[in-house]
Amino acid sequence: MDEATARAMIKDHFDTGSDDFVRSSEIYADDAVLEFPQVVRERIYFGEPWEPPAWRAQWVEPMEPQGS
């Protein structure tokens, strides 16, 4: 399959939306397994806030707090 064909298939896949499962599944191989584990359960981890180490400063931009 060439790149143009693959791109067209992917575009068509996202253009179909989630209502046409048969059409949107045509992008997958016949023996593909598609799993949505979040539909069954979701795990979220929360931790206490902490001050980030100074060495990380080169990769961030300060943000104004929301509501300011």
2-38: string of b/e by CB count within 10 Å (b at 16+)? eeeeeeeeeeeeeebeeeeeeebeeeeeeeeeeeeee
50 in a structural domain: yes
20 in a structural domain: yes
Distant-in-sequence, close-in-space partners of 25: CB < 8 Å, separation ≥ 6: 34
Instruction: Supply 10's token pair.
Output: 């992917």
pLDDT band at 4, cuts 50/70/90? very high
**Residues spanned by the domain of 41:** 3-59
In tens, the pLDDT along 52-62 reads 899 998 998 88
In tens, the pLDDT along 12-42 reads 877 876 667 777 677 777 888 877 776 766 6
Give this prediction's pTM: 0.35
Give the count of domains, the chain. 1
pLDDT score recorded for residue 18? 64
55 in a structural domain: yes
66 in a structural domain: no
pLDDT band at 47, cuts 50/70/90? confident
